[in-house]
Structure 1
Amino acid sequence: MTSTTTGRISVSRHAADDPGHERSPARRPRRRLKRALGISAVALAAVGGGGYLWLDATSDVHNLGTAECTSVIPTAAGAETRTGDRDAVCGVMTSLTDTWGRGDAEGYGALFTKDATYTTFVGSHYEGRADIVNSHKALLSGFLEDSKLAGTYLGIRFLSADTVVVTGRGDTYTGTDKPEASELSKLQTTTLVREADGQWRIAAFHNTQRQSVMERISFILSPDTKPKAEK
């Protein structure tokens, strides 16, 4: 009995030490399953990546705006006669581009009212001219050094004789390769007021990053969300 038991134990131990003994059939299905899951993951990633690229490639906008601010016809009752005010407002917008391009944070900030608000596309919210100047000193001498502004104008709407909203598309760039209108990735709303000294200054600025793929998905799933200008 002892020798028989010992022999059985010995056989059992040898079986455990043999990687190809009895357990190998169980391992093969696991390997096949892992391989199948891996292939499925790669296929899904390829489909997902291709879908993303397709959505991005088909998300072009039609309403690109106008390059020249002074060619935009103001809207609101009687606003079409305010070409002098429009030109003055456009002068402020041109000065924004010029002072940014020179890296002149003080000159840039002087175009805003003392209590102006400034909201960036990343969600940073600045209050007051001093806050705007200080932040742009850091930006224009830091990772946005030597950058320039590019933009187009979507509309100029007078809310009153002394208040106007300018909407447009914009972006920053470096070097001489100015982006095309279709490449501008931000939507911008600029509210200007005429102050007591007769000068137009910016009271509020809001910058929004366009999410082209999310916008395209929204238009596909809910067509009524598409703006009139894009239909």
Structure 2
Amino acid sequence: MTITTADTTRQDDLDALRDVVAELERAQNAEDVDAFVALFREDAIWTTGGGRLLVGRDAIADFTRTVLPGAMRESTSSYVPVHVLFLRSDVAAVKVRQIVTGLDGSPSVDEAYEGSPMYVMTKEDGRWLLTANQNTVVVSD
């Protein structure tokens, strides 16, 4: 899927942002808590799909250690960046499409569902980090 953006001159940054999302996907599917948490800025905020606000990497780590291990036994998630808005040269809003399915690609135990995360990332010492993030479950009619 192609990322849409008004700024097509930033291919290196678009590739780097795509890599962060790909690493988030890999870490979640592998239930790799440390790799997942390493993607966040120290003072990041994260709102879970259930609406829980987590402030700071330590709170994100504590929460992730309780929910991620074992979470991917019966499902897998894919994350695809679909739109990037560069707010400044070192700040980007990244809209992501998340699809959760069973391990064989079929609807998961609870049915396949789609998420619509928004990740605001900041570039720190040349590295893009998750900074202000909101997970949203897409409700179908």
Q: Same fold (TM over 0.5)?
A: yes
**Which of 103, 114, 133 is the aligned partner of 1:175?**
103
User: Greater strand percent: which structure?
Assistant: 2
1:72 paired with 2:32, answer: no
**Which of 58, 63, 86 is the aligned partner of 2:14?**
86
Q: Secondary structure at the match of 2:18?
A: helix
**CA-to-aligned-CA distance 1:98-140 (integer Å, 9 cap, x gap):** 1111111111000010011111121111111111112111112
TM normalised by structure 1 equals 0.54
1:18-57 superposed matches below 5 A: none
The RMSD of aligned alpha carbons is: 1.8
2:30 matched residue in structure 1: 102
1:133-212 superposed matches below 5 A: 133-142=61-70, 144-146=71-73, 147-177=75-105, 184-195=113-124, 197-212=125-140
1:123 matched residue in structure 2: 51
Q: Secondary structure at the match of 2:116?
A: strand
CA 73–116 in structure 1, closer or farther in 2 if over 3 Å, else same: same
Select the structure with the greater relative contact order (CA < 8 A; seq sep ≥ 6). 2
CA 103–158 in structure 1, closer or farther in 2 if over 3 Å, else same: same
Structure 1 position 209, deviation (Å): 1.8
The share of aligned pairs that are identical, in percent, is 26
CA 171–124 in structure 1, closer or farther in 2 if over 3 Å, else same: farther
Instruction: Report if the CA contact (8 A) 1:74-1:80 is conserved.
Output: yes
Q: Secondary structure at the match of 1:108?
A: helix
Which ranges of structure 2 fall in alignment gaps of 5 or more residues?
Answer: none
Q: Secondary structure at the match of 1:192?
A: strand
